[in-house]
Amino acid sequence: MTRRFDPAPLATELVDELLDLARRAPSAGFSQGAHFLTLEGESLRQFWELTGAGEWFSKRQPGVLAAPLIVLPLADPSAYTARFTERDKAGHGLEVAANWEVPFWLTDTAMAVQNLLLLADERGLGALYFGIFRNARQLLDTLGVPAHVLQVGAVALGHRAADDGPSGSPVTRRRRPPADVIHHHHW
Ligand SMILES: Cc1cc2nc3c(=O)[nH]c(=O)nc-3n(C[C@H](O)[C@H](O)[C@H](O)COP(=O)(O)O)c2cc1C
């Protein structure tokens, strides 16, 4: 994750290309309920202010605020409940969102986000995925997002500042050894 951005804008064609590639993540039943909403200029300013993320980062990691673009990954459960009423998918009760033990709209949107993070890295760009902790619904309403569509955090995207380096929790925490998290035959 990058927490020091260069404020230079990203070319529109590049952003479009990355988002088109990123959305080609797997999706349950090929429901494709993951959306991206890009914020720049006035909508970006509204994002920082409404969510309180601007104030949060300004005190801790102000380099995040230089990012020229925020991508909001959004998940539409109705794409899944509708798809799982179709003949080849019906019969599991999954036409009701509450019945999904794993809400695959979140899974699929997270996969698309990971694609975006990997693509950004491949192109030498920086990206930071972070959570929205305040006024998320108010923000989505302001941006015209339908009421049933869910936010799945935010991705700041841009060129990395020349002085960008390791930041965040990995600076103070070690990576857990493989044996801690990879289990064979039995947990
Ligand atoms: C679900 C999720 C939520 C995260 N939320 C935040 C956040 O709110 N603020 C932040 O600075 N980083 C956030 N991160 C980034 C993690 O801190 C970071 O991915 C982790 O420490 C590993 O660092 P690396 O991605 O640089 O390897 C989040 C990551 C994930 C996957």
> pLDDT by residue (tens digit) across 50-69?
999 999 999 999 999 999 99
What pLDDT is recorded for position 138? 98
Instruction: Read off the CATH number of the domain in which 150 is found.
Output: 3.40.109.10
What pLDDT is recorded for position 11? 98
**Contact predicate 68/7, CB 8 Å:** yes
* Domain contains 35: yes
What pLDDT is recorded for position 25? 98
Residues in the chain, pLDDT under 50: none
Give the number of domains in the chain.
1
* Domain contains 172: no
* Domain contains 178: no
Distance 50 CA to ligand 1 centre (A): 21
What pLDDT is recorded for position 60? 97
Please state, in angstroms and rounded to a whole number, the distance separating the CA atoms of residues 21 and 119: 8
* Domain contains 165: no
Please state, in angstroms and rounded to a whole number, the distance separating the CA atoms of residues 70 and 129: 10
* Domain contains 68: yes
The strand pairing partners of 72, in sequence order, are 37
Residue ID of nearest Cα to ligand 1 atom 27: 1
Residue 117 CA, distance from chain mean position: 9
Residue ID of nearest Cα to ligand 1 atom 21: 169
